[in-house]
Amino acid sequence: MSSLHKIGVFVCWCGSNIAATVDVAAVAEAMRAEPNVVYATDYQYMCSEGGQSRIREAIKEYGLTGVVICSCSPRMHEATFRKAAQSAGLNPYMVEIANIREHCSWIHKDRMDATAKAIVLARTALAKLNLNQPLTAGESNVVKRALVIGGGIAGIQSALDIAEAGYEVDIVEKTPTIGGRMAQLDKTFPTLDCAACILTPKMVDAAQNEKITLYTYSEMESVSGFVGNFTAKIRKKARHVNEDLCTGCGLCQEKCPSRKAKNEFNMGLNTRTAIYIPFAQAIPNVPVIDTEQCIHFKTGKCGLCQMNCSAKAIDFEQQDEIIERQYGAIVVATGFRPISLERFDEFGYSQNPDVVTSLEFERIMNAAGPTKGQLVRPSDGKHPHCIVFVQCVGSRDTSGCGKPYCSKICCMYTAKHAMLVREKYPDVEVHVFYIDVRTPGKNFDEFYRRAVEQYDVDYIKGMVGKVSSHGDKLQVQGSDLIADKQIIIDADMVVLAAAIEPDPEVRKIATMLTASIDTNNFLTEAHPKLRPVESPTAGVFLSGVCQGPKDIPETVAQASAAAAKVIGLLAKDKLKRNPCVAHSDEMLCNGCSACEKVCPYGAISYMDKEFRVPGPKRTEIRRIAVVNEAVCQGCGACTVTCPSGAMDLKGFSTKQIMAEVDAICR
């Protein structure tokens, strides 16, 4: 093969950048003497139009099969020279760069040394090029449909934006309604507008948009495939209510005699019926039967809902349904939950009903909540006169009980709660224990200052050590670090700003998608600064708190950013792939699965294939590795793990690198 090569070498002066230190003519001359080199020259600026046309002309004139360019870093102009070569009919991957600027002329002073090194680098590039194979970037189709996992504000926003651009989107939401955490909120900071007022119109938009399909009360079953071509299986759990027939009248809910189930939407502060619609504005406005609570499912009796349903929508026989669909892109928007406070004994959360989390407090303050918006204590329904808020409960906690990170939203919502209480009930004393108040964001610090200055909220820098019951009061012992003293406050209610953590479902979903996850279960970005809404797995995008704590405006911004990335992807008819990918020689593969284990992208799978073996008409089945070229990113981890050398990397093959080593050590 290599003897048929006709190679041209072009040595760039880069003005005086290279030529001042490296004798470019000597490099060209030395290269002219190398086997396979039929042409070698030097030129002032190879990257200029003049330089590029020299490459094109030489390719045509000498019928070059490969080109070595001795110039600046390939990170600078590899793409330029590949394009130039391609325009003259040469395969772009038959171009190799010897970096004689950054790695040579710019760092060496001695002209002899630098020239000698430049020659070695040029020979090394030539040695590699001699073994290059023309590579063609493969193409794959893009399925023009997106999947959004999670129907909170992040998922809704991403879906709306993608639908707006004209693409089909499916939202998979595990609960019976879309809306997510935001639907549970009362007011939103820093404007204090009601969450439902701004969220529910978006929920309706999503439901009515003909490009959007909602799969509520549904879970992800599996995902396979790769960017542009994912296949997802969605389990649509049986609601036992026919969505097409149900009118959402709510009569079933009224008639249901099983009323003991904890109301998840109200954070368990009250109960709900066994057949239920999570909240008034739920979408879809279709109830679901909680089979663990339903008397019919438990005893076979009852059936009151079915008898009362004039639409005949109740279907006790309904089964889970598996939906299989193709998607081009996937947005993960699985959101968060407050951490469990079981391990924080000092606050007496599990022991005392008047110690509540901020999300529970949010429901108490909400006009549609369990107390109809009346601020009363969960224990006795009495109006509280003193409320203590505790921030950083489980956040910035390195003790192991909580989370090491800052949950980011707690400072602001605590200020919001404090302000709302003082606004509605000026008689209530409000204290806030904090470690630091962190309020970066537009109008955020102003908001916090209003709480302190205008609403007289008592902010105390310090931690709470203990909350204990004393009669019908809660004794809060804490330290005031500024006054440097221990203080005791007799409170009626204590509100804990519990840290937030990614929804535990995300682990399962990350595994399905081979998307990486950090030690706190947040999904990892492809690049923390420059690719913040992409997962390292191509075609998977991140939206909302699943990537890291954030408030509503940030979530919405990220959701739209993820949508923009999805739209950019779906707008393409074909995806060009990186041709420098791994491939396995089936004649050498042992099928041992080592490569699969180290592949960060799940690009390797195995198949059983029949092979001829010596002997008359004998065959045997062997397990062999197959690389999905659309998924492989070309890192090469598999090539070194493979003991037989079956796995190799195009563009950086074992033989090529070995040839480079030999050329340097010649």
Partner 1 sequence: MSIEETKKEYKPLIVAFCCNWCSYAGADLAGTSRLSYPADVKIIRVPCSCRVNPLFILRAFQRGADGVIIAGCHPGDCHYTSGNYYARRRMTLLFSMLDYLGIERARTRVEWISAAEGVKFSTTMNEFAKTIHELGENKKLEDLRCKELLK
Partner 2 sequence: MQRVIEIIKEKAGKLLADGTVDRVIGWKDGEFFYDPTPAVFSAGELENLRYDSFCGANVSKYLIAETKKEGKILALLKPCDTYSFNELVKEHRVDRDKVYVLGIECRGKADINKIRDLGIKGIESIEELPGDELLVHTIYGDKTCKLNDVLLEKCLCCKSKTHVASDDLALTGEPMPEAPKDRFAMVAKLEMMTPDERFEFWRGELSRCIRCNACRNVCPACSCLKCVFDNDASGVASKANADTFEENMFHIIRAFHVAGRCTDCGECSRVCPQHIPLHLLNRKFIKDINEFYGEYQAGADTTSRGPLTDYTPDDVEPSIVMKRGGDQ
Residues near partner 2 (CB under 8 A): 587-594, 597-598, 606, 620-621, 623, 641, 643-645, 654-655, 658-659
Token duo for residue 503: 């929804």
- The partner in contact with residue 652, picked from partner 2, partner 1, none with C-beta cut-offs of 5 to 8 angstroms by kind, is partner 1
The verdict on 358 binding partner 1 (CB under 8 A) reads: no
Q: How far is CA 620 from CA 607, 610, 626, in A?
A: 13, 5, 18
How many other CB atoms are found less than 10 A from the CB of residue 154? 33
- The partner in contact with residue 623, picked from partner 1, partner 2, none with C-beta cut-offs of 5 to 8 angstroms by kind, is partner 2
Which of 107/658 has CB closer to partner 2?
A: 658
Least distance between partner 2 and beta carbon 5 (Å): 18
- The partner in contact with residue 590, picked from partner 1, partner 2, none with C-beta cut-offs of 5 to 8 angstroms by kind, is partner 2
| Cα pseudo-dihedral 147, 277, 262, 303, rounded to 10 | -120
Segment contacting partner 1 (CB under 8 A): 96-104, 193-201, 325-333, 566-574?
96-104
Is the distance from CB of 101 to CB of 18 less than 8 angstroms?
Answer: yes
DSSP class of residue 525 equals P
Least distance between partner 1 and beta carbon 640 (Å): 5
Q: Which residue has the tokens 């909120």?
A: 185
What residues contact 474, with CB distance under 8 A and at least 6 apart?
348, 352, 354, 355, 388, 467, 468, 490, 491, 492, 493, 494
Q: For residues 356 and 338, what is the distance between their CA atoms, to the nearest angstrom?
A: 12
Q: How far is CA 631 from CA 326, 536, 627, in A?
A: 16, 11, 8
Q: For residues 175 and 216, what is the distance between their CA atoms, to the nearest angstrom?
A: 6
Q: For residues 602 and 604, what is the distance between their CA atoms, to the nearest angstrom?
A: 6
Is the distance from CB of 56 to CB of 86 less than 8 angstroms?
Answer: no
The verdict on 666 binding partner 1 (CB under 8 A) reads: yes
Token duo for residue 85: 């070569």
Least distance between partner 2 and beta carbon 652 (Å): 13
Q: Which helix (H) or strand (E) holds 219?
A: strand 218-226
- The partner in contact with residue 192, picked from partner 2, partner 1, none with C-beta cut-offs of 5 to 8 angstroms by kind, is none
- The partner in contact with residue 643, picked from partner 2, partner 1, none with C-beta cut-offs of 5 to 8 angstroms by kind, is partner 2
Which of 44/133 has CB closer to partner 2?
A: 133
Q: For residues 135 and 452, what is the distance between their CA atoms, to the nearest angstrom?
A: 66
The verdict on 512 binding partner 1 (CB under 8 A) reads: no
Beta bridge partners, 226, equal 229
Please provide the distance, in angstroms rounded to a whole number, between the alpha carbons at the two ends of the chain: 22
Q: For residues 481 and 486, what is the distance between their CA atoms, to the nearest angstrom?
A: 8
Least distance between partner 2 and beta carbon 659 (Å): 8
- The partner in contact with residue 591, picked from partner 1, partner 2, none with C-beta cut-offs of 5 to 8 angstroms by kind, is partner 2
Give how many residues touch partner 1 by CB under 8 A: 47
Which of 62/611 has CB closer to partner 2?
A: 611
Task: Look at residues 51, 44, 111, 117 and name the one whose alpha carbon lies nearest to residue 81.
Answer: 51
DSSP class of residue 495 equals E
Q: For residues 510 and 108, what is the distance between their CA atoms, to the nearest angstrom?
A: 48
Which of 326/641 has CB closer to partner 1?
A: 641
Which of 446/620 has CB closer to partner 2?
A: 620
Name which position in 598, 606, 622, 626 contacts partner 1 (CB under 8 A): 598
The verdict on 55 binding partner 1 (CB under 8 A) reads: no
Query: What is the CA 402 to chain-centroid distance, rounded?
Result: 23
- The partner in contact with residue 120, picked from partner 2, partner 1, none with C-beta cut-offs of 5 to 8 angstroms by kind, is partner 1
Name which position in 524, 551, 592, 596 contacts partner 1 (CB under 8 A): 524
Name which position in 353, 441, 532, 634 contacts partner 1 (CB under 8 A): 634
Q: Which residue has the tokens 């129907």?
A: 151
The verdict on 477 binding partner 1 (CB under 8 A) reads: no
Task: Look at residues 301, 286, 271 and name the one whose alpha carbon lies nearest to residue 237.
Answer: 286
The verdict on 652 binding partner 1 (CB under 8 A) reads: yes
Length of the chain: 666
Which of 455/606 has CB closer to partner 2?
A: 606
Q: For residues 252 and 259, what is the distance between their CA atoms, to the nearest angstrom?
A: 12
- The partner in contact with residue 649, picked from partner 1, partner 2, none with C-beta cut-offs of 5 to 8 angstroms by kind, is partner 1
- The partner in contact with residue 75, picked from partner 2, partner 1, none with C-beta cut-offs of 5 to 8 angstroms by kind, is partner 1
**Between 193 and 232, how does the x/- string for binding to partner 1 read (CB under 8 A)?**
----------------------------------------
Which of 107/483 has CB closer to partner 1?
A: 107
Least distance between partner 2 and beta carbon 123 (Å): 17
How many other CB atoms are found less than 10 A from the CB of residue 517? 17
Name which position in 16, 83, 107, 192 contacts partner 1 (CB under 8 A): 107
Least distance between partner 1 and beta carbon 601 (Å): 8
* Interface contacts to partner 1, rule CB under 8 A: 73-76, 99, 101-104, 106-110, 112-114, 116-117, 120-121, 124, 516, 524, 536, 580, 598, 600, 633-637, 639-641, 649, 652, 654, 657-658, 660-662, 664-666
